[in-house]
Amino acid sequence: MYAEVLTVAGLATFEIYAAIPAGFLFGLSPWIIFFASVTGGLIGVFFAAFLGDKIRALFHKNKPDRESAEKKHPVILRIWNTYGITGLGFLGTFSVGAPVTIAIGVGLNVNMKKLATWCCIGVMVRCTIFTLIGYYGLQLF
């Protein structure tokens, strides 16, 4: 059981959309799936927020400027212009995932503490919604 829980948490570190179905496939309790996916998702947020800039610095000597980030991600830029840091953190976490949202926020020179906070809120809400969908979806069968 511990291996399954660690697998769900490990998958949630990168992609919650894969972690929650894997937990149901392993036959875990919805509460265990929820807590493992939230834990893994939050680890992914903090890993991306606090270590991502240092890891990127190893591969790229120059930080990309705002214009290059805007050209690569026009949808995220539209969310940024409309909803600000709240929309980027919360809606970006729902659409592309927290690590990608953090990476885009680094390219847009966003305050990392605020972005990480909104990404954490997005991870918790997303895990809640998808665990409930999975649980009640399986109840239909």
Name the residue range of residue 48's domain.
2-139
Cα torsion through 41, 43, 38, 8, rounded to 10:
80
Sign of the alpha-carbon dihedral angle for 39, 43, 49, 52: negative
Tell me the chain's radius of gyration from C-alpha atoms.
16
Q: Which residues are CB-contacts of 40 (< 8 A; sequence separation ≥ 6)?
A: 8, 9, 10, 11, 12, 13, 16, 19
101 pLDDT tier (thresholds 50, 70, 90): confident
Phi-psi region of 97 (alpha: psi -120 to 50; beta: other; left: phi over 0): left
pLDDT at 58: 63
For the chain, what is the domain count? 1
Phi-psi region of 27 (alpha: psi -120 to 50; beta: other; left: phi over 0): left
- pLDDT tens-digit series, residues 39-90: 999 999 998 888 766 766 665 665 555 666 566 667 767 777 888 888 889 9
pTM of this structure? 0.82
